Structure 1
Amino acid sequence: MVDSIRRIPLLPLRGLLVFPAMVLHLDVGRRKSVQAIEQVMDEDKEILLATQKEISIDDPKEDEIYQVGTIAHVKSLLKLPNGTVRVHVEGLKRARIKKYIDTGEFLHVEAVVLEDEEPYATTEAQALMRNILTMFEQYTKVSKKVSNETVTIVKDIQEPGRFADVIAANLPLKLMQKQSMLELTNVKQRLIKLIEILNNEQEVLGLEKKIGQRVKKSMEKTQKEYYLREQLKAIQKELGDKEGRTGEVATLRDKISEGDMPDNVKEKALKELDRFEKMPANSAESSVLRTYLDWLIQLPWTYETEDQLDVIRAEEILNEDHHGLEKVKERVLEYLAVQQLTRELKGPILCLAGPPGVGKTSLARSIARSLDRKFVRISLGGVRDEAEIRGHRRTYVGAMPGRIIQGMKKAQSINPVFLLDEIDKMASDFRGDPSAALLEVLDPEQNNTFSDHYVEEPYDLSKVMFVTTANNISTIPGPLLDRMEIISIAGYTEVEKIQIAKNYLLPRQMKDHGLTKGMLQMKEDAIKKVVRYYTREAGVRSLERQLATLCRKAAKKIVSKEKKRVILTGNTIETYLGKPRFRYGLAEVEDQVGAATGLAYTSAGGDTLSIEVSVAPGKGKLSLTGQLGDVMKESAEAAFSYIRSRSNELEIDPSFHEQNDIHIHVPEGATPKDGPSAGITMATALISALTGRKVKKEVGMTGEMTLRGRVLPIGGLKEKSMSAHRAGLRTIIIPKDNEKDLEDVPKSVREDLTYIPVTHLDEVLEHALGEKDESNES
């Protein structure tokens, strides 16, 4: 039989496929499709229905439509109010698209009508049809998706091709499976394909039935448990038993009602409690909800302790706990005074910045004692995860609130003194930036509605007095630093260390080691010797360790009956602690050529910096050694350039840089420095080496210089002054602009040192350089 070619309008279908002999209604909404329907209604009422490959495409192209479709007869047309057209169609024959013709309004195609290839009435076809009918009947009994009327209609169909099409049209197959059935013109192949599909569907239905039975059993078990639990509740209620789940829920409800939660939090807690009550006791979410409710109940929401606003009493407590630190004490007393007048001041955010061992953490504890507030401390050193501050969301396994909320639970009041220790040692990585999360905590304008991911409800931190500690404020991010009031604690003078050891450290160590005043006595000259020769620090931590060593050795002598009483003096210290570890006074023993003493500011306090210069015959090579940082190298180069430009005034051979190799060495070049301040020191050492004039041994200096010799101001004058005093220097050359900072230097240090303010390097040389060393003249 020769296939006939017809020109016919095309109607693309979305998510739908029509088989021959299939009758159904279609809703048509696309403009081109409506025009195609209206066209065929005026002509022979036949149209080609072909399915498009993607449902989402509104205007399909040629390659987006399946090539085999069904020629259908449009029986009727009904226009709906929403603009769509409902058509009643009946599938007639298969057809394959050969060519697309775009008329502008809608698509026409040239299609080849496809006839069934296999003869209808073969014996094999009849056998296949009987087998399929049996399988189809079994399928309809199990699936319930096909009506009995459909089975009756199928039984009456004698033509194998039509028989296969009707069954395929009534099976819940995927669009691609139906399309493959439509494209089969060989009736035998179509029947075999249908057997495969029915076999697969029966297996799927069998699995669905098993799963359904399993789910039904599980539901029956759950319903049974629920019924039994309800019976148990009723029995417990009759018996007055409050130990079961009912009693637990009732106890939680009472705690929520009687607690100090705000109304919005109380409403949330009761809502979660209702969920908890309806939830099976053995479910995983039940324990999560119970933990969450416990947190809401145990957190302090409105309870606050009453402040002791007695300024005189607070001052006595602060002095009792700490020697010195006048600035910090003054700031706390100011806060108390304002609180006494207003009682509404928001908690300040103080940042105690200073080297290790100066008492920052213990000072925060003393602040809490003076205010009679609860004290909470958390360490932020090494914290990298933002969730450590804000908490984890409850959807995570093992979720917990952040450290801030945990601290508030521990405090049990909304106005504790909250210490955030080591705030400068936080880090950030792929888990977030905890310092950014702290911005909300430490902002007085925001922290009254602090948001923790676990608690979810806003929490008021505005009445908390936050105290932070840091060794080096330069590592704290700018926005975070802006929210804090920086109070610098530079360290202690020798006099202060002796008083601290006598009044605080030694009594504490004697108590810890079981010693009484009758067992151990330590003279003041012994303490002074320990401070001078066995410690070298800004704080007193190392000093306390040395005192602990003395207490241990004294305890051993007493317990071993070697001595009944140990008296420590300056002459006997070496017996217990060995040879001195440090030389008191690190200043030069005599005036030196090419050696100057500078002052540096480090995160561990102030330190002295020895700078040495040697000049040797050579070709003008400048060497810098001592693990110098970029800032120190720049200072050396600036000093070298200044000397070359002023060689005549300084009485130096103008060609010195061509005939000599110059070596600048800083023995303690690894000393970390905060900002440039070694410029005038390097220049002085260089000029001393080139002129042969000695640098005075008792002079220390600090300051950066320009290429014109102007001396620039520096930072950390207090720390540098204390390091100079500790090193045994007597005269300090400082920039003129730093005179205002002298009031920060402790009086005992200021009285022992002579300060010379300068504006130009010429003044530095005038005070730092002595006579020319004739023996070293070159």
Structure 2
Amino acid sequence: MKKSENKCEKGERLSAAVNSNGVIPGRVLRDLRKRVNSSRSITKDVRERCLTEIDRLEHLSDASVEYGATRQYIEWLLSIPWKAGSKRQFDFKKVEQRIDQDYYGSQKIKNKILERIAIRKLTGNSSINSILCLAGVPGTGKASLAKAMAKAMDKEFIRISVGGLSKATDIKGSNRTSLGALPGIIIQTLKNAGTIDPVVLIEDVEYLAEEASTVPAMSLLEAIDPRYNCRFLDNYIGFPVDLSNVFFICAVKSTEDVPDLLSHRFEVIELPGYIEKEKIHIAQKYIIPTVLKKHGLLKKNIVFSENGLKKIIRNYTLEAGLLQFKRQIEVICRHVAKEKAVGNNKTWMVNEKTVGSFLGTAQYTLEKPGDSPEIGVAIGLAWTGQGGDLMIIEGLRMKGSGEVITTGSLGEVMKESIQAAHSYVRSKADVLGIDHGDFDNFDIHIHFPSGAIPKDGPSAGAAVSLVIASVMAERPIRNDIAMTGEVTLRGKVLQVGGLIEKVSAAYRAGIPTIFVPKDNKKELKDLPADILKKTKFIFIESVDDIFARGLLDFVPSSYTLEKLFAEELNKAKNRKKTGASRKIAAKGKKKK
């Protein structure tokens, strides 16, 4: 009886010593201690902390919350690549070749990237003081460029987004004492990379500026700024981590979106939108082969003609980048993949005539200037989230009391710009041949089509000035020009942003001449060679230059003709009255 009781007691103790996974905790701790002692990637301080935590685990129940949290902490300490850097040395001479193979873009941009890679080569992966930031609308190749850089240097590439982070703990981790505590996104990224020197692309940085608190942006700066990140402290880990070897690259949609807290530390490289010719080249060399492979198709299954690609770009996308373009190609490939899956192995041709059968009715119509010069119609250039775009501005005058009416979902800045343009044109009435009384007797209506789309900014001031001068002086505006520029009350034309995207939009629409503020002249060297070759740029300093070059000869309206006829009749009547009075006076002298 006693022997059976002893056996039961031993069985109970043994079962108590086995955790829910069927593993004896003592064995787990021995294995964990062995991993800590044999690890070569952790530092001395981290090893000591791990061993101390393992000693604590020996006195805890494996069913307790503290046991699980402590063991998780040890696993995190072991998973961080404290000293595990990439041992592969890259050949700088081959770096440029690899980047050219994987990324299609401006040579100037590539040179700036190569300069930074050269510094890392010479200094042993150390970063320079400024942080690289790529600015460009979606689809302009920010991620592709960062990935090409990592591949050229034989580094791991990690892509993260900080758009949804609103607290410092999201970046720097939470304290171990907190329920569900974990390291921040920076330490998690290092764990996923497995090395201490990866290339990390941080996207959606602009959304940090929308937060009311500045803490998330400052926490991110602490991690990516070379001045501080050699001893980055995550609240959960509790040990300083050296991030100086990590190649951090930030990405934003435009230079205007860079948060003010970070802008002074960023070296911004602007990636312009692609013109049609470049999009076709990228599609043929990069996009189509990649999409075919992902859809299980061969080159013989589907053939894209150049005219077919042009039609997709012009009628099914509205962007400076390549995202929509790539999606439309994927839609076509899915259609072909479905047909191939049911045994139809014919070769599908995607040309100008067959695109509609794959993609349906055209979604967009390319905005183009009118066929002939018109009074009160000018072409402005705008920057949007999809890149550059044409902005047709219409003006009309009508009998009234001198009011300026604006329509088209305009913001306050644009309305103020219109008012400034109106005041300047009014001050130049004599030069333009406008009767001063017309500004009191006529209302002016300025309209921006596509009223459902909000519009704001001062860069339409130049075009608005020309429209107002045109309707009041009754002089047509050339239909072969587009323009951009902010206008002051003194008639000066100021520098504007987004010039490369705006000029690209005019080029796509086939406009041969563009009025550009003189202060923007230095930016034109970044444009593609095709645009510089086929576009004429006129650099303007004042609104008077726009009037002189943009307005055509006087074309009087019926009202103006009636007014001129009435004035001539009055002059004739006055001459008759003057002549009659002179005759009467002469007769009086003779009688005397």
- Do they superpose with TM above 0.5? yes
Query: Is 1:620 paired with 2:402?
Result: yes
- Letter of the structure 2 residue corresponding to residue 495 of structure 1: K
1:525, distance to aligned residue in structure 2 (A): 1.9
Give the Cα separation in 1 of the matches to 2:209 and 2:216.
7
Offset from partner CA, 1:489-547 (integer Å, 9 cap, x none)? 12101110010111111222222233222222122222122222322210111111221
Query: Is 1:256 paired with 2:36?
Result: yes
Name which of 113, 124, 137 aligns with 1:343: 124
- Letter of the structure 1 residue corresponding to residue 332 of structure 2: L
**1:372/1:344 CA distance change after superposition, 3 Å:** closer
Name which of 296, 319, 335 aligns with 2:77: 296
1:696 and 1:768 in contact (8 A); partners too? yes
1:556, distance to aligned residue in structure 2 (A): 4.7
**1:374/1:490 CA distance change after superposition, 3 Å:** same
Query: Is 1:402 paired with 2:184?
Result: yes
Name which of 88, 111, 126 aligns with 1:330: 111
Tell me: higher relative CO, structure 1 or 2? Use CA pairs within 8 A at least 6 residues apart.
Answer: 2
2:106 and 2:528 in contact (8 A); partners too? no
Q: What is the DSSP-based 3-state SS (H/G/I as helix, E as strand, rest coil) of the residue aligned with 1:696?
A: coil
**1:559/1:277 CA distance change after superposition, 3 Å:** closer
Taking the TM superposition and a 5 Å limit, the aligned residue runs for 1:566-605 are 566-605=348-387
- Letter of the structure 2 residue corresponding to residue 549 of structure 1: V
Give the Cα separation in 1 of the matches to 2:523 and 2:453.
23
Query: Is 1:491 paired with 2:273?
Result: yes
Offset from partner CA, 1:660-701 (integer Å, 9 cap, x none)? 111111114665668521111110000011111111111001
2:414 and 2:457 in contact (8 A); partners too? no
2:183 and 2:235 in contact (8 A); partners too? yes
1:430, distance to aligned residue in structure 2 (A): 8.5
What does residue 312 of structure 1 align with? 93
Q: What is the DSSP-based 3-state SS (H/G/I as helix, E as strand, rest coil) of the residue aligned with 2:93?
A: helix
1:354 and 1:603 in contact (8 A); partners too? no
Name which of 506, 515, 531 aligns with 2:313: 531
Taking the TM superposition and a 5 Å limit, the aligned residue runs for 1:16-95 are none
Query: Is 1:680 paired with 2:473?
Result: no
- Letter of the structure 1 residue corresponding to residue 512 of structure 2: R
1:773, distance to aligned residue in structure 2 (A): 2.9
Query: Is 1:506 paired with 2:288?
Result: yes
2:408 and 2:454 in contact (8 A); partners too? no
Query: Is 1:696 paired with 2:475?
Result: no
1:526 and 1:573 in contact (8 A); partners too? yes
Query: Is 1:356 paired with 2:138?
Result: yes
Point out the more displaced range, 370-379 or 253-262: 253-262
1:355 and 1:538 in contact (8 A); partners too? yes
What does residue 571 of structure 2 align with? none
2:174 and 2:181 in contact (8 A); partners too? yes
Q: What is the DSSP-based 3-state SS (H/G/I as helix, E as strand, rest coil) of the residue aligned with 2:429?
A: coil
Taking the TM superposition and a 5 Å limit, the aligned residue runs for 1:61-460 are 244-259=24-39, 260-343=41-124, 345-346=126-127, 349-426=131-208, 433-460=215-242
Point out the more displaced range, 619-628 or 311-320: 311-320
Give the Cα separation in 2 of the matches to 1:410 and 1:264.
23
2:421 and 2:489 in contact (8 A); partners too? yes
Point out the more displaced range, 711-720 or 426-435: 426-435
2:380 and 2:484 in contact (8 A); partners too? yes
Give the Cα separation in 2 of the matches to 1:661 and 1:751.
42
What does residue 537 of structure 2 align with? 755
Give the Cα separation in 1 of the matches to 2:456 and 2:500.
14
**1:698/1:232 CA distance change after superposition, 3 Å:** closer
What does residue 745 of structure 1 align with? 527
What does residue 565 of structure 2 align with? none
**1:286/1:686 CA distance change after superposition, 3 Å:** same
Give the Cα separation in 1 of the matches to 2:238 and 2:367.
59
Name which of 609, 621, 630 aligns with 2:391: 609
| Structure with larger Rg | 1
Give the Cα separation in 2 of the matches to 1:523 and 1:734.
36
Give me the TM-score of the superposition, normalised by structure 2.
0.86
**1:626/1:559 CA distance change after superposition, 3 Å:** same
Give the Cα separation in 2 of the matches to 1:431 and 1:454.
22
Give the Cα separation in 2 of the matches to 1:733 and 1:742.
12
Give me the TM-score of the superposition, normalised by structure 1.
0.66
2:389 and 2:506 in contact (8 A); partners too? yes
1:775, distance to aligned residue in structure 2 (A): 5.1
1:559, distance to aligned residue in structure 2 (A): 5.5
Structure 1, unmatched stretches of 5+, are 1-223, 234-241
**1:315/1:580 CA distance change after superposition, 3 Å:** same
1:620, distance to aligned residue in structure 2 (A): 1.5
Q: What is the DSSP-based 3-state SS (H/G/I as helix, E as strand, rest coil) of the residue aligned with 1:770?
A: coil
What does residue 728 of structure 1 align with? 510
**1:393/1:341 CA distance change after superposition, 3 Å:** closer
1:349 and 1:465 in contact (8 A); partners too? no
- Letter of the structure 2 residue corresponding to residue 304 of structure 1: G
Offset from partner CA, 1:592-646 (integer Å, 9 cap, x none)? 1101111112333112211111100111121111111111111111111112211
2:126 and 2:244 in contact (8 A); partners too? no
**1:766/1:671 CA distance change after superposition, 3 Å:** farther
- Letter of the structure 2 residue corresponding to residue 289 of structure 1: T
Give the Cα separation in 2 of the matches to 1:249 and 1:561.
58
Query: Is 1:481 paired with 2:263?
Result: yes
- Between Structure 1 and Structure 2, which shows a larger proportion of strand residues? 1
Give the Cα separation in 1 of the matches to 2:327 and 2:541.
44
Q: What is the DSSP-based 3-state SS (H/G/I as helix, E as strand, rest coil) of the residue aligned with 1:257?
A: helix
**1:273/1:402 CA distance change after superposition, 3 Å:** same
**1:567/1:730 CA distance change after superposition, 3 Å:** same
What does residue 114 of structure 1 align with? none
1:631 and 1:676 in contact (8 A); partners too? yes
**1:441/1:760 CA distance change after superposition, 3 Å:** same
1:252, distance to aligned residue in structure 2 (A): 2.0
Name which of 300, 303, 310 aligns with 1:521: 303
Give the Cα separation in 2 of the matches to 1:635 and 1:302.
57
**1:572/1:775 CA distance change after superposition, 3 Å:** farther
Give the share of equivalent positions with the same residue, in percent: 38
Q: What is the DSSP-based 3-state SS (H/G/I as helix, E as strand, rest coil) of the residue aligned with 2:476?
A: strand
What does residue 184 of structure 1 align with? none
Count of residues in correspondence between the two structures:
545
1:284, distance to aligned residue in structure 2 (A): 1.9
Q: What is the DSSP-based 3-state SS (H/G/I as helix, E as strand, rest coil) of the residue aligned with 1:278?
A: coil
Give the Cα separation in 1 of the matches to 2:356 and 2:304.
14
- Letter of the structure 1 residue corresponding to residue 162 of structure 2: L
Give the Cα separation in 1 of the matches to 2:557 and 2:158.
66
1:344, distance to aligned residue in structure 2 (A): 5.2
Give the Cα separation in 2 of the matches to 1:776 and 1:741.
45
1:726, distance to aligned residue in structure 2 (A): 1.6
Offset from partner CA, 1:699-730 (integer Å, 9 cap, x none)? 00111122221221222211111111122211
1:428, distance to aligned residue in structure 2 (A): 6.7
Q: CA RMSD in A?
A: 2.7
